[in-house]
Amino acid sequence: MRKPQLEPMSGAPDRVTIYEVGARDGLQNEKSLVPVEVKAEFVRRLLGAGLETVEITSFVSPRWVPQLADAAELVSSLGELALGTHRPVLVPNEKGLDRALDLGVSSVAIFGSATETFAARNLSSTVLDQFTMFEPVAKRAKDDGLWLRAYVSMCFGDPWEGDVPVDQVADVCRRMMDLGADQLSLGDTIGVATPGHVGRLLEALDARGIATDQIAVHFHDTYGQALANALEAIRLGVRTIDASAGGLGGCPYARSATGNLATEDLVWALHGMGVETGVDLERLVATSVWMSEQLGRPSPSRVVKALSGE
Ligand code: HMG
Ligand code: MG
């Protein structure tokens, strides 16, 4: 399989961590239920392709996200493979945390909103009340020695509210980090961010004492900007990039949210620049081709299309 020509880029880091969200963000929006065995096989193949950090599923209300109602079954069927610091699951509330802890999960993610409309639509909450919901989850997670990620959605724009002020986003990020999170993931839920905007938000976070090494970026690719934004974040010091194999993804509660940055597109760019990811691109493309067969439609990733059509 073709590889990018290696031309190291000055100033690029030696290594970037890919935080793979295909099994969670990628599948949560699928209309028809994906069998739990297919999800388990997807996770196994992602791990087999060298991805170290793989988000497994969400322990959310099954009424809100029916696709992930099988979260416990999935974690149980994967056994040890689904456990450990590098296998986070989403938990919005204590009920979700209890369900995850019962299975031995040791890495969880809470997910807040920078805007009122999305807080209402995604969490049935307000921006202020979401912190009250997360507080006991974060406290118990940290007391139990769990690794804790805090997502913030609508960091770069909101489908109902339009532009979202950078200071408003940065304030929500600060409050999420004050809950004790180990990592903050900046969600461009509807894929509208541009590179200058990424820089502005990172500056605002720096001014609030959030170090770049605590930050991950999570770009959806609606406007085709995800890779450009990810590379800009890396140039500015971010070392963890969220991506989804084959570019699967979307949020059932955000109109116009399409797939995430495709992991293959990111890996192609990084390997060409001489940045290590630990990923075997050939095995990853084969995984996405297999997954697109399961879902009955081709992957939107340009790199998957190019390499699988060779
Ligand atoms: P609510 O309806 O206000 O909650 O929803 P509730 O406490 O009234 O409970 C309603 C029912 O759900 C009850 O069941 C609860 O027991 C049950 P009933 O008594 O009616 O049978 N329930 C649960 N069941 C299992 N696990 C739980 C749980 N919690 C309650 N954890 C709630 C509030 C937060 C629960 C709901 O809004 C919810 O689950 N939201 C999650 C939505 C979601 O998963 N969205 C996608 C993930 S976020 C995302 O994709 C963005 C991201 O990728 C970053 C980006 O791109 O920006 C992360
Ligand atoms: Mg997302």
Q: Residue 257 pLDDT > 90, yes or no?
A: no
Q: What is the pLDDT of residue 251?
A: 67
Q: Residue 251 C-alpha to ligand 2 middle, in angstroms?
A: 6
Tell me if 222 CB under 6 Å of ligand 1: no
155 is annotated as an active-site residue? no
Q: Determine the longest span between alpha carbons in the chain, in angstroms.
A: 52
Q: Residue 287 pLDDT > 80, yes or no?
A: yes
Q: Residue 250 C-alpha to ligand 2 middle, in angstroms?
A: 6
Q: What are the pLDDT digits (tens) for 223-242?
A: 999 999 999 999 999 999 99
- Residue 256's pLDDT band (cuts 50, 70, 90): low
Task: Round the CA-based radius of gyration of the chain to a whole number and report it.
Answer: 18
Q: Residue 19 C-alpha to ligand 1 middle, in angstroms?
A: 23
Q: What are the pLDDT digits (tens) for 61-111?
A: 999 999 999 999 999 999 999 998 899 999 999 999 999 999 999 999 999
- Residue 310's pLDDT band (cuts 50, 70, 90): low
Q: Identify which of 49, 12, 1 has the alpha carbon closest to the alpha carbon of residue 272.
A: 12
Q: What is the pLDDT of residue 20?
A: 98
Q: Which of 75, 150, 251, 261 is catalytic?
A: 251
Closest protein CA for atom 11 of ligand 1? 61
Residue 259 and residue 300 in contact, taking contact as beta carbons nearer than 8 Å: yes
Q: Tokens 């620049």 belong to which residue?
A: 273
- Residue 57's pLDDT band (cuts 50, 70, 90): very high
Q: What are the pLDDT digits (tens) for 15-43?
A: 999 999 999 999 998 989 999 999 999 99
- Residue 255's pLDDT band (cuts 50, 70, 90): low
Q: Residue 249 pLDDT > 90, yes or no?
A: no
| CA angle, residues 40, 60, 182, in degrees to nearest 5 | 85
Question: In this prediction, what percent of the chain has a pLDDT beyond 90?
Answer: 93
Instruction: Name the pTM for this structure.
Output: 0.97
Q: Identify which of 46, 254, 43 has the alpha carbon closest to the alpha carbon of residue 155.
A: 254
Q: Which of 24, 58, 61, 98 gets mutated to test ligand 1 (max ligand atoms within 8 A of its CB)?
A: 61
DSSP state letters, 122-184? HHSS-HHHHHHHHHHHHHHHHHTT-EEEEEEE-SS-BTTTBS--HHHHHHHHHHHHHTT-SEE
- Of ligand 1's listed atoms, the one at least distance from the Cα of 96 is 31
- Of ligand 1's listed atoms, the one at least distance from the Cα of 63 is 12
